[in-house]
Amino acid sequence: MEYSIRDLEAKANEIRQDIVKMLVTAGSGHSAGPLGMADVFTALYFGNVLNYDSKNPTLWNRDRFILSNGHICPVWYATLAHAGFFPHSELASLRKLGTRLQGHPHHCVLPGSENTSGPLGQGISQAVGMAYVGLKMKKEPWRVYCVVGDGELDEGQVWEAFMFAGKNKLRNLTVLVDRNNIQIDGFTEDVMPMEPLGAKWESFGWHVLEVDGHNIKQIIDACNEAKAISEKPTVIICHTIPGKGIDFMEYKYEWHGVPPNKEQAREALKELRTLGGKIRSEHE
Ligand SMILES: Cc1ncc(C[n+]2csc(CCOP(=O)(O)OP(=O)(O)O)c2C)c(N)n1
Ligand SMILES: [Mg+2]
């Protein structure tokens, strides 16, 4: 189905509202990262980027989507529900024992997933392995998409995977980095400075793109550009605002791993409803 950019912005706003409702109901979980990535997930699943069939999640030629920073799964779960992978009402079961929507994604029970994640650094290695097997060994038509956090880049393992992908020219791999400048207990540049980030991937033989992670058109265009690159893997550095859309959460690393309480959730939902679909690029 074709959505207009305005429709997609409204969809991202609904996903943000779902994230707030899920977190306050669960009473635990991560707020800042999921809210910051709602536009990227909307672009991937509703902007004709990913090839998937929610009624047949293991379709052989589906694109493989890997969430390496598993802790931001509330945004993925809300997106998967909107895409029809499971009933929307199931979102209320986030983090309850025995449900499909665990605090970190559990592959054995989660439709639309390819791996279990939570331990940072591992998803990107799995994604690179899938891209290698898909392209070099089986010559399959599907692509691999992987979302990683910027704090996650402190894990040495990720650079080994990036190096391997560059060396093997994995053109079927697109990595999207949540460049929100926060991690669990501080700003990324204080904890472990990593700039110049784009130059690092360039030196590893990657095609590097940077987008405003709240500009859905830019995100879709970058993903389409990546599909057309025939010699290299692509990384899209998505500049996002942690807690995006909720004034008292934006830019604050203190919201990395806590949910809103009931009063804060009411305030947050009021703000999101007022915004409607109006989160757009600040450069527009
Ligand atoms: C191997 C490993 N070490 C530590 C953690 C704990 N941890 C969870 S999230 C996080 C911060 C990651 O930063 P980032 O990817 O930027 O996430 P954001 O705060 O932006 O959501 C850490 C250290 C983990 N999940 N896995
Ligand atoms: Mg971060």
Tokens found for residue 52: 């998937």
Indicate which residue's Cα is closest to atom 23 of ligand 1: 184
Tell me which residues of the chain have a pLDDT lower than 50: 283-284
The answer as to whether 251 is a domain residue is: yes
- What's residue 275's pLDDT? 87
Ligand 1 atom closest to residue 256's alpha carbon, by position in its atom list? 19
d(Cα 248, Cα 257) in Å, to the nearest integer?
15
Check if the beta carbon of residue 235 is closer than 8 Å to that of residue 207: yes
pLDDT at 283: 42
180 lines ligand 1 (CB under 6 A): yes
Cα angle 246, 248, 253 (rounded to 5 degrees) comes to 100
Is-above-0.75 flag for pTM?
A: yes
H/E stretch holding 177 reads: strand 173-179
- Flag whether 284 is in a domain: no
Write the residue with the smallest CA distance to atom 10 of ligand 1.
Answer: 184
Instruction: Tell me how far apart the alpha carbons of residues 178 and 191 are, in angstroms, rounded to a whole number.
Output: 16
Do residues 127 and 235 touch, judged by C-beta distance below 8 A? no
> Distance between CA 177 and CA 127 in Å, rounded?
14
Range of the domain at 191: 5-275
Query: Counting Cβ atoms within 10 Å, is residue 210 exposed (0-12), middle (13-18) or buried (19+)?
Result: middle
In a domain? residue 72? yes
CA 214 to chain centroid, in Å, comes to: 12
Choice from 102, 117, 184 to test ligand 1 binding pocket (greatest atom count within 8 A of CB): 184
| Whether the CB of 192 sits within 6 Å of ligand 1 | no
d(C-alpha 103, C-alpha 141), whole Å? 32
Q: Is residue 283 part of a domain?
A: no
pLDDT at position 280 is 63
54 located within any domain: yes
What spacing in Å lies between the alpha carbon of 155 and ligand 1's midpoint?
Answer: 9
Residue bearing the CA closest to ligand 1, atom 14: 151
Query: How remote is the CA of residue 72 from the centroid of ligand 1, in Å?
Result: 10
Q: For residues 98 and 260, give the distance between their C-alpha atoms in angstroms, rounded to a whole number.
A: 23
Residue 112 covered by a domain: yes
Q: Is residue 280 part of a domain?
A: no
Cβ of 74 below 6 Å from ligand 1 = no
User: How many whole angstroms from 138 Cα to the centroid of ligand 1?
Assistant: 33
Residue having the nearest C-alpha atom to atom 21 of ligand 1: 33
- Determine whether the shortest distance from the Cβ of 72 to ligand 1 is under 6 A: yes
Please check whether residue 282 lies inside any domain of the structure.
no
Which H or E run contains 100? none
Q: Give me the CATH number covering residue 170.
A: 3.40.50.970
In short, whether 103's Cβ falls inside 6 Å of ligand 1 is no
Sign, CA torsion 185/189/190/194: positive
> What would the pLDDT profile of 249-264 be if each residue is shown by its tens digit?
999 999 999 999 999 9
Number of domains comprising the chain: 1
What distance in angstroms lies between residue 154's CA and the mean position of ligand 1's atoms? 9
Q: What is the pLDDT of residues 34-81, one digit of tens each?
A: 999 999 999 999 999 999 999 999 999 999 999 999 999 999 999 999
Task: Report whether the peptide linkage leading into residue 196 is cis, meaning its omega lies within 30 degrees of zero.
Answer: yes
